[in-house]
Amino acid sequence: MSNSKEILSLIRNLIKEKTGITYKENKDYFLELKLAPLLKKAKCAKIMDFYNLIKSLPFDDNLFKEFIDAITINETSFFRDGYPFDILRIHIFPRYIQEKKNKKIRIMSVPSSTGQEPYSIVMTALEVFPDIDRWDFKIVSGDISEYALFRAKQGRYRQIEVARGLNAYFLGKYFTKINDSEYEIKKDLKKYIEFHKINVLDKNAIIWKETYDIVFFRNIMIYFDLNTQKELLSRIKDVLKKDGYLFIGSSEVIIGISKLFKIEKIDRRVIYVNSK
């Protein structure tokens, strides 16, 4: 087989099998563009040579990791969409402060991409809890992309990244300027987050072993087909505590979500609750 269209279709199938991500045929140009530097690096003259090489590689092979980094889309920002963090700050966290006697809070923030989402949750919590260190407060986070995960753990952001979503107050309070163009999240904030390499398709992934008060599972379902979405929703339901909250991306429409979760409107925004 030598037709590059056919090989790209095999690569799309391989991506789906390994990550769940569905690449549509009309994105082949994008895929080719993303893979071009890897073909060069792997000294593959043709896309077919690259496919033959990559399909046999294990997940922990360096080239395979770079392949995953190349095909994942790590688009994110601090306080993305605003309202989930407002709802945490105004409604959910104050209620926990009043009602949670065991002082234990578990939050899933997956995928982390480069870390802006879990760090935004921590900053929100620090603004609300009078003494968070008297709480057992933990965010479980991570991503399939090692590049994204490395950056999330590092917590270092360029000027253009901090300008997306952070105001001067948050930047001044929670970040240290490390040089002319980079800021780093203060070490103290990192202790509330456990970062792991996570493939959400993997039933044994660490995220499925905890139970959570709140799940952020945002801007990932859009890349998956209906069956994968359905399977993941039911896994989320299993790990979300009764009356726990699920946040998805503001532009994500997930068929069947309202069968599993109760829709609650807070400040005219829809969030999902596990009424069990």
Ligand X SMILES: C[S@@+](CC[C@H](N)C(=O)[O-])C[C@H]1O[C@@H](n2cnc3c(N)ncnc32)[C@H](O)[C@@H]1O
Q: Give the whole-angstrom CA distance, residue 124 versus residue 111.
A: 18
SS3 label, residue 226: helix
Residue 45 vs 160, nearer CB to ligand X: 160
Closest CA to 67 of 54, 76, 48: 54
Q: What is the nearest approach in angstroms of ligand X to the Cβ of residue 145? A: 4
Which single residue is written with the structure tokens 């993305």? 80
Q: What is the nearest approach in angstroms of ligand X to the Cβ of residue 61? A: 17
Residue 113 vs 229, nearer CB to ligand X: 113
Q: Give the whole-angstrom CA distance, residue 262 versus residue 240.
A: 13
269-273 vs 240-247, strand pairing mode: antiparallel
Q: What is the nearest approach in angstroms of ligand X to the Cβ of residue 191? A: 21
**Extended strands (E) in the chain:** 104-109, 136-143, 156-158, 175-179, 182-185, 193-197, 212-216, 240-247, 262-266, 269-273
SS3 label, residue 93: helix
136-143 vs 193-197, strand pairing mode: parallel
Q: What is the nearest approach in angstroms of ligand X to the Cβ of residue 224? A: 8
Residue 272 β-bridge partners: 246, 263
- What one-character DSSP code corresponds to residue 132? G
Q: What is the nearest approach in angstroms of ligand X to the Cβ of residue 134? A: 29
Taken in order 183, 187, 193, 197, the sign of the CA dihedral is positive
Q: What is the nearest approach in angstroms of ligand X to the Cβ of residue 156? A: 17
Q: What is the nearest approach in angstroms of ligand X to the Cβ of residue 15? A: 9
Residue ranges that bind ligand X, judged by CB under 6 A: 19-21, 72-76, 80, 111, 113, 117, 143-145, 148, 198-201, 218-220, 223, 249
Residue 141 vs 274, nearer CB to ligand X: 141
Residue 112 vs 274, nearer CB to ligand X: 112
Task: State the burial class of residue 131 (Cβ atoms within 10 Å of its Cβ: 0-12, 13-18, 19+).
Answer: exposed
Residue 72 vs 229, nearer CB to ligand X: 72
Residue 100 vs 153, nearer CB to ligand X: 153
Residue 98 vs 227, nearer CB to ligand X: 227
